[in-house]
Structure 1
Amino acid sequence: MSFQVTVQPSGRQFTCDEGETILTAAIRAGVGLPYGCKNGACSSCKGKLVAGQVEHGPHQERALSAHDEQLGFSLFCCAKPQSDVTIEAREVAGVGEFPVRKMPVRVAGLQKAADDVMILSLQLPANERLQYKAGQYLEFMLRDGKRRAYSMAIAPHKDEPMSLHIRHLPGGLFTDQVFTTLKERDILRVEGPLGTFFLREDSEKPIVLLASGTGFAPIKAIVEQLEHAGSKRAVTLYWGGRRPQDLYMNALCEEWARTLPAFTYVPVVSNAAPEDNWSGRTGFVHRAVMEDFPDLSGHQVYACGAPIVVESAQREFSAQCKLPEDEFYADSFTSEADLAGATPAAS
């Protein structure tokens, strides 16, 4: 059995198989619904259920509350139609431009950028090239059907091995492997490109880039894409960490600030120790943006990192800095620990 999904206001339609989520079916059909984590944690895919019935799988309460459901909202990454449905969502242009592919990759290199950050380089099969947009991610296909998502940390035009930034989460199924047993020439399987977090190149608005921790990875790809395109847009990068060593590519950012026109770099540290001798900006990284840009009404913001950082930025930039809701683009990095608190599906 299958159900028909109609998207408003575009009127586009696609088929969703029984037991399949609306988002999975949309990706398969090349329909550009906005999304991030695909697992009920980030709320990027939340939209209105206009007609029909769905059943929600496990998800974070903060992504879709019971009150949200009463108001007619749905989380499309975990919503399975029980009838034909009509949804309301702002489609993202360009999502279906490149096909989502599965392929084997070979580990080309492992380089520690910090005690808990590994730069993992991947070699694609001979004569293969993964087409994607700067900011998108891929998923590793692991044992027992498990998956782990990481953003490409290199712009698509670069003729270099694929690069990912992996933060070690002790006890993590994949990150423990990366930091202990994974070695060069090992074979892994990936699927991509995925995600709707990517540079919108049809605007001339100044850009604020906001990263926390390894959320810097897709931001790095976006900066490289802007440089490659010869963009003249003003760009300000805010990168936050607890300690200075968390800004593991600080030297690269400082080089961009010296060499790229209209580019500004603002590192922010929230918990510097006395021995760090930190003299730069302190506190929450999104608050540093608000101090410098009390009026964001004419800007675009691209934010990536821990869910608390992204959610706080989205809420406060909109409420206090006049940022238009449709000019905030985000990718929230969710871990298994984040997902452990998911709300069970309703019985």
Structure 2
Amino acid sequence: MSYTIKLLPSGHVFQAKGSQTIVEAAIDEGIHLPYGCRNGACGACKGKVVEGKVHLEDYQSSVISEDEIKNGMTLFCRAIALENLTIEIKELAINNNIRPKIFPVRVESLEALTHDVMLMKLKLPSTDKLQFVAGQYLEFLLKDGKRRAFSIASPSHESSLLEIHLRLIPGGEFTEYVFKEMKEKSILRVEGPFGNFYLREHSEKTIIFVAGGTGFAPIKGMIEESIQKGMQRPIKLYRGARVLEDLYMDSLCKKWANEFSHIEYIPVLSESLEEDAWHGRNGLVHEAVLKDFVNFNDYQLYCCGAPQMVEVAHKAFIKAGLPEDEFYSDAFTFAAPVKK
């Protein structure tokens, strides 16, 4: 059984199978709804059910309140239609028709960047080429039917060899396998691309990137893509980490800043060690940004990291005057650790 979904304010109509979430159905039909994690954890897909009923399952209560649900709001990445729907959510103006697909990849190389960050390079089949926009992510399809999502750290012009940054999650089944058991030349299955975290190239505003941990991965892809395209918009790259070792690929960021006058790099450590001999910025990365800017009217801000970091940053920047529609984010969510 399938249901008809009507979108407001665009008026576009698409079909959703009874087993699909609204976001999954939209992706299948080439409709660009906002979404991020697809796990009910980031709130990017929040919108209103104007007519009809949905079933909302497996979401984080911190993202949507009971009062919001009673007033017709829902998370379309976790909402399944129970009948024909009219929903209200702003579509994204994306000028491509890229749809996700499933394909095999070979693990070309594995390189430990720090004690808990692995650089994985994935080789696509010679007959295949992945179309994606820098900043999007892939989902690894595991044998038990589960999925694990990781951002693509490559620019789109390097589509035959994809770069992924994986952080070791203690008790995390997939990342522990990657760090402890996975061998180079292993064959995996992935699906993608997914996500709406990409550079809005139509704007001339100064770009502020705020990256926490491996939230640097999609931002790296966006910066490299902007360089390849010859873009000259000013870029302020703020990277947050706990200690100096966690600033992996720090030399690459310094190289960008040295070679390109429109790129500025500001690393920030929250718990620097004595042996770090750190003379740079200290504290939380989003607070460093707030200290550096009085007015955010002429800026676009792209933020990626752990959900709590992104949520706190979003509230702080909007309160400081950043226009709501100029905050773009990707929140990394993690599967529950395996119980020993």
Settle same-fold status: TM greater than 0.5: yes
* Alpha-carbon shift at residue 71 of structure 1 (Å): 2.7
Is contact 1:208–1:301 with CA below 8 Å preserved after alignment? yes
1:64 deviates by 1.4
Q: Residue 246 and residue 64 in structure 1: after superposition, are their counterparts in 2 closer, same or farther (change >3 A)?
A: same
Q: Which residue of 1 aligns with 2:196?
A: 196
| Contact 1:31-1:95 at 8 Å conserved across structures | no
State the Cα deviation string for residues 233-265 of structure 1 (Å, max 9, x = none): 010000001111111011100111101121100
AA aligned opposite 1:227: I
> Which residues of 2 match residues 143-222 of structure 1 at below 5 A?
143-158=143-158, 161-222=161-222
Residues 57-108 of structure 1 deviation map (CA, whole Å, 9 limit, x = unaligned): 1100111111221232110011111111111111112275212110000000
Aligned equivalents of 1:88, 1:96: Cα separation in 2: 22
Alpha-carbon deviation of 1:160? 5.8
Q: Is the 8 A contact 2:130 2:159 kept in 1?
A: no
- What is the distance in 2 between the residues matched to 1:175 and 1:287? 30
Deviates more, 1:303-312 or 1:214-223: 303-312
Q: Give the root-mean-square deviation of aligned CA atoms.
A: 1.6
Do the aligned residues in 1 keep the contact of 2:98 with 2:131 (CA within 8 Å)? yes
Q: Which 5+ residue runs of structure 2 have no aligned equivalent?
A: none
Deviations 1:189-211 (A, max 9, x none): 00001001111111111100010
2:240 is matched with 240
Any unmatched runs of 5+ in structure 1?
A: 341-347
Report the CA distance between 1:121 and its aligned residue.
0.5
The CA deviation at 1:144 is 1.6
The residue type paired with residue 245 of structure 2 is: Q
Moved more, 37-46 or 67-76: 67-76
Alignment of 1:1-347 (within 5 A): 1-94=1-94, 97-158=97-158, 161-320=161-320, 322-337=321-336
Separation of aligned partners in 2, 1:17 and 1:64: 24
Does the 8 Å CA contact 1:30/1:96 hold for their aligned counterparts? no
| Contact 1:31–1:96 under 8 Å retained in 2 | no
The amino acid that maps onto 1:234 is: P
The normalised TM-score by structure 2 is 0.97
Larger RCO (CA within 8 A; separation ≥ 6)? 1
User: How far 1:308 moved relative to its partner?
Assistant: 1.2
Secondary structure in structure 2 of the residue aligned to 1:232: coil
Opposite residue 126 of structure 2, the aligned amino acid is: A
Q: For 1:323, give the aligned amino acid.
A: L
Percent identity over the alignment?
47
Greater CA drift, 94-103 or 36-45: 94-103
Query: Aligned equivalents of 1:294 and 1:142: distance in 2?
Result: 47
Question: Do the aligned partners of residues 57 and 286 (structure 1) sit closer, same or farther apart at CA in structure 2, a change above 3 Å counting?
Answer: same
CA distance 1:126–1:315, change in 2 (3 Å): same
Question: Aligned AA for 1:230?
Answer: G
Task: Give me the whole-angstrom Cα distance separating, in 2, the residues matched to 1:234 and 1:17.
Answer: 44
